[in-house]
Amino acid sequence: MTAITSRYEMLFIYEAKDCNPNGDPLDENRPRTDPETGEATISDVRIKRTVRDWFLSLESDVEKRLAAGREVLIRDTLKADGYLSEGKDRAEQFLAEAAKGKKGEAKRQALEAAVLRGCIDARLFGATLPLGKNEPSLQLTGPVQFSAFNRSLHRVSPTLVQQTAAYAGSDKGNQKSFAERWLLPYALIAAYGVANETAAQTTGLSEADLDLLLQGLWRGTAALNTHSKIGHDPLLLVVADYRPGFRLGALPRRVSLANQSAEDTALRSTRDFWLEVGELLSALHDYSQLTGLRVMQDPRLRCQSGAQAGLFAELAEAAGLPVTALDL
């Protein structure tokens, strides 16, 4: 398939209610927050994990995923002895018989071809895999990158919840022990990503791959149903298409909350605020390199542009922007 030739920016707004959108394993798995601003912070790794997990949910058979070019490179796999694979072990899993015995650059090229042919996440996000001692590593720059920290649009207040565990706390105990977990009562999160057409020429990222990424953002977020993640819902996805080499930038910083019915840390649903998008629409209107917008929205998210209220697509059309609906 042909690699993308346009540059894209993505603004993805979603809510997280009574869950832990991105725990810090080095800090009791507390939800990550900025200590200065009090905003929730969600790493790019977490967002990519959501997308990868959704890809995996589409097809359980590894061989079928490989044949379709939709295998996930960065996932847990086991070696023949039952232990978790290291990077070099995962690399060897992609080297076909024809590449056995190859060394150095020839081996690296064989691995690159196999990985890019079979793994959608490598075409999207790039990859780094070691090949072993005295061998070159596979290093691919991903065309799609998300902000290292994607922030909530307001301050949050992490809450420690205590609950009864399923088992006794000791071998001689007659009472169940207690468990603790950290939650955010509510967070409205704005994630930002860029798809770079120049890097796409190396990995072969296609428009079809990009469409699957967008589906993974929306549907993958809605499908999060683990103990700590259930409570996520997608609200708005805006994809801005540009001419090659250009992008507006800073999309999340051009939207804000308005008409709040409660303080930041007391927000609990989309009924408690409106999303002000006027600055973003004005900037996009004035940016001559924009060629179009694609939008998907949950109508529970109420948008406004100054005195005007409506769905994001309606407000964008009123601002004179070329808008089409995303069908995910």
pLDDT digits (tens, 9 = 90+) for 90-102: 777 777 655 677 7
Q: Where does residue 24 rank: exposed (0-12), middle (13-18), buried (19+ CB within 10 A)? A: middle
pLDDT tens per residue across span 124-133: 999 988 877 7
Q: Where are the beta strands (DSSP E) in 132-175?
A: 138-141, 144-146, 149-155, 159-168
| Distance of alpha carbon 319 from alpha carbon 101, whole angstroms | 61
Whole-model pTM?
0.93
Q: Which residues contact 127 (CB under 8 A, 6 or more apart)?
A: 73, 74, 115, 119, 121, 138, 139, 140, 142
Q: Where are the beta strands (DSSP E) in 93-221?
A: 126-129, 138-141, 144-146, 149-155, 159-168, 176-195
* Contact yes or no for 35/212 (Cβ under 8 A): no
| Distance of alpha carbon 276 from alpha carbon 257, whole angstroms | 6
User: Residue holding tokens 């200065």?
Assistant: 36
Q: Which residues contact 268 (CB under 8 A, 6 or more apart)?
A: 17, 185, 186, 262
What's the distance, CA 142 to chain centroid? Answer: 14
Q: What is the pLDDT of residue 31?
A: 97
* Contact yes or no for 241/6 (Cβ under 8 A): yes
| Distance of alpha carbon 311 from alpha carbon 304, whole angstroms | 8
Strand partners, 159: 183
pLDDT tens per residue across span 35-44: 999 999 999 9
Confidence of residue 279 (pLDDT cuts 50, 70, 90): very high
Query: Chain-wide mean pLDDT for the chain?
Result: 92
* Contact yes or no for 21/31 (Cβ under 8 A): yes
pLDDT tens per residue across span 151-197: 999 999 999 997 765 555 555 555 555 678 999 999 999 999 999 99
Q: Which two tokens stand for residue 289?
A: 């390199």
**Helices 207-222 and 44-58: angle between axes, nearest 10 degrees:** 100
Phi, psi of 64 (to 5 degrees): -70, -40
* Contact yes or no for 57/204 (Cβ under 8 A): no
* Contact yes or no for 322/293 (Cβ under 8 A): yes
Q: What is the pLDDT of residue 169?
A: 52
pLDDT tens per residue across span 69-126: 999 998 977 677 777 777 777 777 777 655 677 788 888 888 899 999 999 999 999 9
